[in-house]
């Protein structure tokens, strides 16, 4: 299974590299939201700094959500999902590989550019490690939870709105913990609790969501 997992990640990486627009759209959206926000509320450094934790996490959440609608759609349209369901390999492992490749090429890139955009909002340099740590723990959870909704709505022609309605309530704990860790660090308070809870959510998501994604795909494929 390890060889199958790695092979599927390599396959997804090749497909994503052939469709650079799918990789660029969430990153451009993330950058535009943060770049335009100071123009809307003014250049006051103290105000931007106090709002930056919530703004960065909201922009990251929406950027991840934007990239999830097409996560399984191309595989559904070309019949690959049916082959996955009929395969002798566990569908949950195949789905986990798909989401892992998506996060490596989309979510990880978002994490990399986040510090530069955070500095635009006046976030102190001492907060950047917490920002990176919270995003590294939180964005995989967002991708895995979003993949559950994407699996359930993959057969719908216009499932983006339904996907948002299904997934946004599940994103609330990650949003609260991620922005809370950054806000606590900004105020000089301990952040270990927030990061440990995010790590716990990440472990639970990696452990449980592949089975939910597999069930959603079976429902969508009709097997």
Confidence of residue 22 (pLDDT cuts 50, 70, 90): confident
d(CA 168, CA 145): 9
d(CA 190, CA 195): 10
Cα dihedral value 115, 119, 121, 127, nearest 10: 70
Give residue 93's Cα distance to chain centre: 18
Residue matched to tokens 């950027």? 63
Sequence spans of domains, the chain: 2-221
Q: What's the pTM?
A: 0.88
Q: pLDDT tens across 63-120, in order?
A: 888 888 778 877 777 777 778 788 777 888 888 888 888 888 888 889 999 998 888 8
Sign of CA dihedral 171, 176, 179, 182: negative
- Which tops the pLDDT comparison, 69 or 35? 35
Sign of CA dihedral 19, 2, 68, 23: negative
């Amino acid at each position: 299974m390890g060889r199958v997992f790695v092979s599927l990640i390599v396959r997804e990486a090749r497909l994503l590299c052939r469709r650079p627009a799918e990789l660029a759209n969430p990153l451009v959206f993330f950058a535009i939201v943060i770049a335009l926000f100071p123009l809307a509320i003014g250049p006051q450094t103290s105000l931007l700094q106090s709002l930056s934790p919530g703004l960065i996490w909201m922009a990251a959440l929406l950027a991840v959500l934007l990239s999830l609608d097409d996560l399984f759609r191309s595989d559904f349209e070309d019949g690959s999902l049916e082959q996955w369901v009929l395969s002798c390999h566990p569908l949950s492992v195949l789905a986990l590989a798909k989401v892992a490749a998506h996060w490596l090429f989309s979510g990880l890139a978002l994490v990399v550019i986040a510090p530069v955009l955070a500095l635009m909002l006046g976030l102190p340099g001492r907060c950047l490690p917490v920002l990176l740590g919270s995003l590294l723990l939180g964005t995989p959870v967002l991708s895995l939870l979003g993949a559950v909704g994407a699996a359930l709505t993959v057969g719908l022609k216009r499932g983006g709105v339904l996907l948002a309605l299904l997934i946004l309530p599940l994103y609330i704990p990650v949003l609260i913990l991620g922005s809370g860790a950054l806000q606590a660090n900004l105020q000089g308070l301990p952040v270990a609790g927030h990061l440990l809870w995010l790590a716990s959510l990440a472990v639970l998501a990696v452990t449980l969501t592949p089975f939910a994604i597999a069930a959603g795909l079976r429902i969508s494929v009709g097997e």
